[in-house]
Amino acid sequence: MSTVEVHIRRLPHGADLPLPSYASLGAAGMDLLAAVDKPVRILPAGRVLIPTGIAIALPTGFELQIRPRSGLALKNGITLPNTPGTIDEDYRGEIQVILLNASEEIFTVTRGMRIAQAVLAPVIHAAWTEVENLDETERGAGGFGSTGR
């Protein structure tokens, strides 16, 4: 497995929290922690923006994808409404995570709670070539369940 150096800055409200880390040797995502000062309640169907207390400088050609944690989704109905979220290489502000409570119960976020995972990924830019026609395929323009016959 290869590694890429990423510069990270702890913000004052996240100074006592661990940096994002991988939970296992083969993990693709690193856990992001909630840098909240006091517990934050998320009502059913509610959304909140949770700070992580960190800012980063990604190397050229990379993004950081922010994804839900499967355990929070299954056990508590907590997900991210804009998943995967993207942290662009030129963003230098605090990483914050939008949490959505898709359950019927109030959910409480506490300081240091693992709220999301972050996956470092390479970015490839598209170079559009406009054409009059596209090549034909068996599927064609069928979508939205058209292959599940």
Q: Checking DSSP bridges between strand 62-67 and strand 47-57, what pairing results, if any?
A: unpaired
- The yes-or-no verdict on residue 145 having pLDDT over 80 is no
pLDDT tens track for 98-108: 999 999 999 99
Phi, psi of 59 (to 5 degrees): -70, 160
pLDDT for 15 equals: 96
Whether the bond between 84 and the residue before it is cis, its omega within 30 degrees of 0, is: yes
- The yes-or-no verdict on residue 126 having pLDDT over 90 is yes
Evaluate if pTM is beyond 0.95: no
Q: Which residue has the higher pLDDT, 148 or 21?
A: 21
| Mean pLDDT, the chain, whole residue set | 95
Q: Enumerate the β-bridge partners of residue 65.
A: 86, 119
pLDDT tens track for 41-86: 999 999 999 999 999 999 999 999 999 999 999 999 999 999 999 9
Residue matched to tokens 């559009």: 128
Report d(CA 123, CA 11) in Å as an integer. Answer: 27
Report d(CA 79, CA 103) in Å as an integer. Answer: 10
Domains of the chain: 7-122 (2.70.40.10)
Identity of the amino acid at 147: T
